Structures are given as C-alpha cells and as structure tokens.
Amino acid sequence: MSETMPDDVAIESVLNERREFPPPAGFSDAIGGAHISSIEQYREMYDRSIRDPDGFWGEIAGELDWFEPWSTVLQWESPDAKWFVGGTTNLCHNCVDRQVANGYGDQVAIIWEGEPVEGGSPEVRRLTYADLARETARFGNVLKSLGVRKGDIVTLYMGMVPELAIAMLACARIGAVHSVIFGGFSARAIADRVQDADSRIVVTCDGGWRRGAVVPLKDNVDAAAAMTDRVKTVVVLKRCGNEVAWTLDRDHWWHDLVGGVSDDCPCEAMDSEDMLFLLYTSGSTGKPKGILHTTGGYMVYTYLTSKYVFNLVPDRGQVYWCTADIGWVTGHSYIIYGILPNRVPTLMYEGAPNFPADDRFWDIVERHKVTQFYTAPTAIRAFMKWGNEHPRKHDLSSLKLLGTVGEPINPEAWMWYHREIGSERCPIVDTWWQTETGGQLIMPLPGVTVTVPGSCTLPFFGVDAAVVNDHGEQLPVNVGGLLVIRKPWPAMLRGIHGDRQRFIETYFARVPGMYLTGDGARRDERGYFWIMGRIDDVINVAGHRLGTMEVESALVSHPAVVEAAVVGMPHEIKGTGIAAFVTLEKGHDPGDELRKDLLKHVTTEIGAIARPDMIRFTDALPKTRSGKIMRRLLRDIAAGTDSDQDTTTLEDFSVMARLREADDG
C-alpha cells in the first residue's frame, strides 16, 4: 500500500450534499409488491441478522433447494469462513431446473438482444427455463466428453451471447469451475490467466460484435495459446462468421459438439464450499489475482440481495436489465446467479450503448418494457454528454427502479439519472461492493431508504460494515478512514487462487480479524456510508478496476522504457483516467510516434481499457530518499492542480519543475 488515506478524492463535493429523497409514494404498487415496507422493518431485520446470523441465514437458505441439508450455518475462523457446512446443492439447479420442476419451464429466463440492427430490428432470443435446462445439460455433456471433470477450471472468453450464460451454468451443472475473461482483454491477459488457473480448455467465439465491428476473439485465443502450453482444447461458437484459423485436434465448433449430444445430464451434488468460479481482478501488484468463490453462501447471498435490492417479484411483468458485461463480477452475480433463482426475466444485451445510435439503451428499455435498470456511473456520464434528446425520444414509463454500481456516483450524475431516466419517480439504488464480496454489501433498499445523491447509504442484512483506523477502532461521524467488514457474510471470497499468503496479507493483515475492503469511507450523522475511493494502488477507470502496477509493468516491457509511474487523474466520462509518467532509454526520442507506439503496446499487453489518457515523458520521476515514487505529487500534476504538498522528502526538487513543464502531447 502506498499511502494510508486517499487524497485524490473530492470529499468536499459530497460533504455538502444535503438533498434527501424519500422513498417515492406508490413504489410498491407500481412494481408489483414490495418485500419490505419500512425502514423500521429493515432495522429489525438487520439487527436480527447481526445478532443471530445462523437463524437469519438458515431461514433464507431454506427458500432455495438443497440436496442434503447443512449441519452448521457458519464456521468462522478468520480469515476462513465456511457457510452451510455439510450441505450440498447446485447453482444451475436453483437457477434453472428448480424453476422447471416447479412448473415454470415455459417462462422466459433470459431475453437476449444482439447488437446488429438489420432491416430496422435487432435479433432477439428468448430462452425459457426449459430451454436453459436442455442447453446446459447438452453443453455439460459436451464438456464431460472433452474430459472436463468436477473441479477443473474452464476458461470462458466470449462475447455477450446467450451461450456464455449457458456455458457458465453448464459448468455449475457438472461441478466444473469457470473463469470468465472479459472479451476486451488481450491475448497476453488471457495467457496469464489461463496459466495461473492451469486451465486446459477455453470456450470462445469466432468474433464478438462491438459498435458494428468484429472483435477477433478466436484470434486472441490463438495468440494466447501460443504463449502458454496449457491450452489443449478450444471450443468455438460461431457468432460473426468471420474467418478464423483452425488447429486440428485442438479446436472444435460448438455446434458440431452440441448436435446429437444427450440432454440428460443431472446436476452434480456440490458441497456448499466447493468452488463455483474464479474471477481475475486487479490488486496492488502487477499480477491480477484469481478471486475464488464457492457455491452455497454465494448462491444464498446473491439470491437475497437481488430479491431485496431490485425488488424482484415473479409473475408481475417485471423485466430486469443489468447493462454490465458478464466478464465482470456484476454480470456474474446480477445478470445470472442472483437473478435466475428469483424467476424474473434477465435481459442480456450484446453490444455498445451507442450503436447504431446514442439512444440504443432507451430503445431497448422501451421495446422490452424494462422495469429494473442497473448500470454504472461512467455510462450515466456518457449519456449526459450525448444529450437529453436521446432518452426523451423514448417511452421510459416501464421503469420502476434504477441502480448504479462500480464507482462513486457524483451527485450531478445521480440527479440527471433521477430526473431524465427515472422521471423523479424511480428510487435509485447505489450499490457498493467488489469482486471479492461476491454480492452487494452497502445500498439503499428501494421504497424504504431515504436516498442522498452520492451516498450508498446502509449495509445489507448480515453486513457489519464500519469505518475504522489501523487499530480497528471505529472513527467518529464524518471522519474518513478504512472501510472494513467485521463479520463474515455468505458471498465473501474464500481465497486467491494459488496464493494463500496474498489472500491473508491483502485482506486480513492490516486490521487483524477484519476484512479490509481497500476503500476509504466515512459515515455521516444518519449512519450513511460515503465511499471516498481506493486507498491502494488500484484505480477505477470507467468502472473497470485496474492496478497502476499492471499498467506500469506493461509500459516497462516496451524496449524504449526504463521506468514508468501510473496514477489516476480526473476524467469527465471515465471518472478516473490513466496518467503515465515515463522515462526513456538513451537514444529514444520522446515524441508522438513513441507515444502512439506505447499506447498500442499497452493495448496489446492488457487491453484497450488500460490505454493511458495521458503519457508524459520525463528524465526522472519524483522519489523519496528511500527511492519510493511520490505518487501523490504525480497525481497533482496529472490533475493540473499545482501542489503545495510537503516535498521535503523529495530527493531532487528540480524533477518537479521539469515534470510540470513537460508536454504530454
């Protein structure tokens, strides 16, 4: 960790935020009935969940199917939590087969819309629970026939197509572990993850549609497979019809494998603590970590948060849409695993928000009569910039609830969302959580919690969140500190794949016995949480989490670069942009050509999401006498705010002057 407290967050902008929005009257009737009716009821349930977690979570878990009941609800020996110990269940069963068994096989589970719009209308597919039961069984059998066994890690690098959902659920069905890699990551990033997970099989698509162009997914897998010896089998779904290279004996078409395979593939009985998935995310070091989630607790927690936070009620005409990509945790938990057990259709959209035009999302909301809409602040800021005429062209009256996730939402964006999208009648749920937490931890409950723009408000049932100092002591009202979770919750990560030490050091060492989130926060007079941003070397770029070290390593791997320092800088749409300070080997000319080459290099090493927004060449970086880069100073320079910060430990004062003067193209 570089510094103890965040200093690059605009605390003032939210400190003065006093606007309060009471739960809109009539919300419960409008949405088809609410699960909870008052803040007092929330407090009662919350108190019980903290006082008696076994009783609380035991009852909730009973709403889902188990093959064998658990003997103990929770075993906790920090940092190791075991939930529903001894119980066996299956997540695919609870998402799919359970609905079929209860007579809902014909209901729509997934509504999928493709990106291309040909002849005026896009392709739409509606998959019922019965369709999902059949397709996940078939693909489960395909995986088995390719040698995948319980516990094996299957890498999924696909676009946002229904087959991605099918592949994930098929893994869950047969007890394989999936590792989904976002389709925007590069071949290098795939190779690193495949290698770390020791994954022998990759499922991909020929290509993916993005803004009318084809993303060459299969080419990227081919390139990744050349960088590691792990990949033995590649399954390719035909989506775009683009040309692909073919490696005999290794590559198989999805449609060839699935045709003629049996659809009899019972859901494997999984121990509650068996692994469900791995998902790589960025941390303070250069190497992404494989966050490990297990079955029972994750299932119960994502089910319950989905139910309460989005107010999901089956059979009331609700259509839920989360705009995230399944390559991120939001898509795992709140497109698939938390939503399907609630038996409300989940919408999946393949492409970009501005294709073919800037009103695509609102067109989707209108045509599918979306009732709950969940997106990210970076998207909201883009919509604001594109103009009010786009949402105003459409009938958005089906919307009943709005959600946001991924980064702090600035009050201005909140107000715009409230006014232009929610017509001032939809509650907004600002949900704070992380890849590691598996599910949402801090958020308002719709129709119940008074909201304040910029605050994620109150903890969910069972979540003992607090703002503390390094000794674990709770800080007074409005004093910023470390956001920690003091008790285990069912969906918490169970580890980092293959790195027990890093798991302990990252999350449980700084404040012993408590889960350290890596975020700074304060709590106001009402007890509401205000997230102040990361306290480690992680930045949140357009809601995508990146380690500054990852970008630095990518830059330094370029032959012209000696040293690089990467910091976040304010960015109108992305929230945080990437600023890179780079020193060069002798003989390389700092200039636009090299700058372009470095941008390309980072895109190849990690992916377009990691492309710096600014590269500044410098002959030295500001360092302390002990050789540590003073990122705080670099952040000021990148933000354009001149620094009167204490530079007494700075080794060479002239470095600062030169850095300020340097041109960044």
Binding site for ligand PRX (CB under 6 A): 281, 329-330, 405-408, 430-435, 456, 517-519, 531, 534, 540, 545
272 vs 457, which CB is nearer to ligand PRX?
Answer: 457
Angle at 255 between CA 250 and CA 261, to 5 degrees: 95
Q: d(Cα 15, Cα 475) in Å, to the nearest integer? A: 17
Tell me how far, at minimum, the Cβ of 120 lies from ligand PRX, in Å. Answer: 35
Longest Cα–Cα distance of the chain, Å, equals: 74
Q: What is the bridge-based pairing of β-strands 544-547 and 538-541?
A: antiparallel
Minimum CB separation of residue 291 from ligand PRX in Å reads: 8
Q: How far is the CB of 282 from ligand PRX (least distance, A)?
A: 8
Give residue 443's Cα distance to chain centre.
16
Q: Which two tokens stand for residue 276?
A: 């469900």
Of 272 and 440, nearer to ligand PRX (C-beta) is 440
Residue 213 CB, nearest approach to ligand PRX (Å): 26
Angle at which helices 592-605 and 187-197 cross, to 10°: 30
What tokens does 38 get? 């008052």
Q: Which is nearer to ligand PRX, 64 or 456 (CB)?
A: 456
**CB-wise, 99 or 330, nearer to ligand PRX?**
330
CB atoms within 10 A of CB 27: 18
- Comparing CB distances to ligand PRX, the nearer of 453 and 518 is 518
Give, in order, the Cα–Cα distances in Å from 552 to each of 286, 543, 615, 658. Answer: 8, 19, 12, 21
Question: Quick one: 280 or 355, whose CB is closer to ligand PRX?
Answer: 280
- Choose between 239 and 494: whose C-beta lies nearer to ligand PRX: 494
* Amino acid code (one letter) for 296: G
Smaller CB distance to ligand PRX: residue 34 or 456? 456
Please choose, from the candidates 383, 375, 433, 450, the residue with its C-alpha nearest in 3D space to the C-alpha of residue 412. Answer: 383
**Cis-peptide into 408, omega within 30 deg:** no
Q: Between 221 and 531, whose beta carbon lies closer to ligand PRX? A: 531
Asked if 70 and 85 touch (Cβ cutoff 8 Å), the reply is yes
Report the residue number, 128 or 410, with the smaller CB distance to ligand PRX. 410
Helices (H), 511-558: 548-556
Q: Which is nearer to ligand PRX, 291 or 299 (CB)?
A: 291
Peptide bond just before 356 cis, omega within 30 deg: yes
Which one, 139 or 280, has the nearer CB to ligand PRX? Answer: 280
Structure tokens at 130: 């019965």
Residue 598 φ/ψ, nearest 5 degrees:
-70, -40
Burial 46-71 (b: 16+ CB within 10 A, else e): beebbeebeebbbebbeebbbeeebe
Q: Beta partners for 403?
A: 374, 429
- Closest CB to ligand PRX among 518 and 612? 518
Alpha helices (runs of H) in 397-463, residue ranges in sequence order = 411-416
Q: 215 Cβ partners below 8 Å, 6+ apart?
A: 159, 183, 184, 207, 208, 209
**Residue 243 DSSP one-character state:** -
In the complex, the smallest distance separating the C-beta of residue 453 from ligand PRX, rounded to whole angstroms, is: 12
The least distance separating ligand PRX from the CB of residue 111, rounded to whole angstroms, comes to 23
Q: Smallest gap, in angstroms, from Cβ of residue 334 to ligand PRX?
A: 9
CB of 328 to ligand PRX, least distance (A): 6
CA distance 396 to 362: 7
Shortest distance (Å) from residue 437 CB to ligand PRX: 7
Cα–Cα distance for residue pair 27/263, rounded to 1 Å: 42
Nearest to 288 by CA among 412, 181, 156, 395: 181
Instruction: Considering the complex, state which of residue 206 and residue 536 has its C-beta at the smaller distance from ligand PRX.
Output: 536
Contacts of 407 by beta carbon, 8 Å cutoff, 6+ apart: 376, 377, 378, 540, 543, 575, 576
- CB closer to ligand PRX out of 142 and 326: 326
Question: What's the angle, vertex CA 528, arms to CA 9 and CA 305, rounded to 5?
Answer: 105
Map tokens 């609102």 to a residue: 362
Spatial separation of the C-alpha atoms in residues 377 and 115, rounded to whole Å:
22
Minimum Å gap between C-beta 173 and ligand PRX is 25
Beta strand extents in 35-120 (DSSP E only): 72-77, 80-85, 88-89, 108-118
- Provide the minimum distance between the beta carbon of 281 and ligand PRX in the complex, in angstroms, as a whole number: 5
Q: How far is the CB of 383 from ligand PRX (least distance, A)?
A: 17
Smallest CA-to-CA distance from 483 within 492, 496, 493, 474 is with 474
315: left (phi over 0), alpha (psi -120 to 50) or beta: left
Residue 193 beta carbon to ligand PRX: minimum distance, rounded to whole angstroms: 15
Minimum CB–partner distance for residue 278 and ligand PRX (Å): 14
Beta strands 575-584 and 544-547 are unpaired
Nearest approach, Cβ of residue 143 and ligand PRX (Å) = 28
The residue among 28 and 378 lying less far from ligand PRX, judged by its C-beta, is: 378
Task: Report in angstroms how near the CB of residue 322 gets to ligand PRX at its nearest.
Answer: 11
- Please check whether residue 123 is in contact with residue 116, taking contact to mean a CB–CB distance below 8 angstroms: yes
